[in-house]
Each structure stands twice: as C-alpha cells, then as structure tokens.
Amino acid sequence: MSPAFAGPTASHYRRHRRDVPGPLLDRLAAHVGLAGDAVVLDLGAGTGQVAVPLTARAGAVLAVEPEPDMLAQLRRRGEEEGLRTLLCVLAADRDVPTLLGTLGRCDLLTVANALHWMDAPALFEAAHRGLAPSGAIAVITHGIPLWLGGAAWAKAVNAYLADWFGRPLTAGCGSDEEALRDRQGQLEAAGFADVAVLRHHYQADVDADHVIGHLYSALDADVLPTAHRPRFEDGLRAVLNPFVDAPMQEDVPVTALVGRR
C-alpha cells in the first residue's frame, strides 16, 4: 500500500491513529536526557502522534510534514489543545539540513512510522551533522500494520484484503525485526553511538469502525475508490461479525531505536 495522505485520508489518520504511548516517550526522554528547554524536530509528523505528546516533555517541538492536508489536521489539533510550543512546518526529509541549520540547535530528532518513505542513510547523515553536540535521534515504530496481526480477526481482515486486491499484503512498512537491525546499522554507519532499542507493548480494544477507519487512513481514493467503499465496508463488516461478541484486541508492540550524536 502506498497512500497519498490527502483529503479524507488525513481525517481518518487523525481519528484512527493513536498517539505513541506516554510510557515509551517518558523512557525516551530519560534515556536521552531531554530537558524542559529542549528543542525537538519531529519528521513526518502526520497528525501529531509524536509531536503533540512531546510538547509536554520539551521546550519546543517543530513538527515537519510534507502533506498539506495532514499538516492542516495537525495545526487544527494544536489549536484545539492550546499547544503554544508546537510549530508546524510544511517540509520533507530532504529539507532536514536546512531546517537544522535554521534552528541553530536541535536536541532530538524523531521520526515515527514514516522512515520507509524516506532516504534513511541520507537523513541519518544529515541528522548527525546538524544535531546539537549532545543531541540524539529516535526512530519510533508504533505497532505493525493492523492487517498483519496475529489475532484471528486480524487474519480474517488480511484474507479479505488479499481477496479484494487480488494479492497478499505482506509489507511490514519497516515494523519487523530485520528492518530494525538494518536501521541500527545505518545509524552506526552515519556516526551515531550507543544505539539502543527501547521497547513497549500494549493491547487496545478495537471494533469494526476502528478497523475500517484505520484502513482508510492507509488507503487513498486511487487505491480504494470512493464509489467502491460501501461494498468494501459491507464485506469487511461481514468478515468481522463472527468476532464482535467477544472483545477484539490489537497487540501493539512499540520500539524506539535511539542513537546519540
């Protein structure tokens, strides 16, 4: 799946993508010694799943997002929550050298569930050059694709999607252990030291509405045309119907791959 995160997709993203858990961010802040006056750059910020909770743990957060509609959702969220230390910027990973140079000081660069869209080695090298002398980078992976989960309902969703699209959906979007090891090697090659993995795990209750909304946050109209969505939803609800009498739960592993400059 290769979504364009515009229009309704951005709205679904804001509604159905959870914030990175506070306990993991607390561990990250303690691990890198994040102070109350710290400056954080959150790259590929989406609708604020990392940037927003980090505002309570830093002095200022620069949320960088290349999709205007996603950034508009994030700005709206920041206004609704009265976040005065959140600055939203329309830019991409290729702009990181300029952004870091303009900031003058950046203590932590985060990128969550977006690195698979970026040139990781180039980004890591730019971050190592531009971060503060004691700065750090954190690559956060919040869960695996919902349709790759091990629960029976998730396997049923996976089979339904494979039938709908005519092919199995196996891409982990960088959430697997092999990708984690590859990224660790790339961070070390870029010069980052003491590269470590922080782990967290939780379970979340889900229902059919959440599953559908989550899928729409990863499928734009080119992949799943609007005219086809009523039939898609009806079929998906029928697939999930055998599981709704018992609580449906999603297992959510979370990792933060952290390197120090």
Q: What are the pLDDT tens digits along the chain (261 aa)?
A: 334 788 899 999 999 999 999 999 999 999 999 999 999 999 999 999 999 999 999 999 999 999 999 999 999 999 999 999 999 999 999 999 999 999 989 999 999 999 999 999 999 999 999 999 999 999 999 999 999 999 999 999 999 999 999 999 888 888 899 999 999 999 999 999 999 999 999 999 999 999 999 999 988 888 899 999 999 999 999 999 999 888 899 999 999 999 999
Tokens 């891409």, residue located: 171
Q: Shortest CA distance to 52 belongs to which of 124, 122, 110, 120?
A: 110
Are the CB atoms for 72 and 98 separated by under 8 Å? no
Full-model pTM: 0.93
pLDDT at 181: 95
pLDDT at 171: 84
Handedness of CA 174, 177, 182, 186 (dihedral sign): positive
AA identity, residue 147: W
Decide if 236 is inside a domain.
no
AA identity, residue 240: L
Decide if 153 is inside a domain.
no
What is the DSSP annotation of the chain? ------THHHHHHHHHSPPPPHHHHHHHHHHHT--TT-EEEEET-TTTTTHHHHTTTSSEEEEEES-HHHHHHHHHHHHHTT-TTEEEEE--GGGHHHHHHHHS--SEEEEES-GGGS-HHHHHHHHHHHS-TT-EEEEEEES--GGG-SSHHHHHHHHHHHHHHTS-----TT-SHHHHHHHHHHHHHTT-EEEEEEEEEEEEEE-HHHHHHHHHTS--TTTS-GGGHHHHHHHHHHHHGGGTTS-EEEEEEEEEEEEE-
Quote the CA–CA distance of 12 and 210 in Å, as a whole number.
Answer: 10
Pairing of strands 248-260, 136-142: antiparallel
CA distances (Å), origin 195, targets 25, 33, 175, 199:
17, 15, 17, 13
Q: For the domain that residue 193 is a member of, what is the CATH number?
A: 3.40.50.150
pLDDT at 172: 86
Decide if 222 is inside a domain.
no
Decide if 244 is inside a domain.
no
Decide if 188 is inside a domain.
yes
Q: Number of folded domains in the chain?
A: 1
Decide if 104 is inside a domain.
yes
Decide if 190 is inside a domain.
yes
Decide if 101 is inside a domain.
yes
Domain extent, residue 78, equals 8-145+173-210+249-260
Quote the CA–CA distance of 220 and 54 in Å, as a whole number.
Answer: 28
Tokens 């309704």, residue located: 8
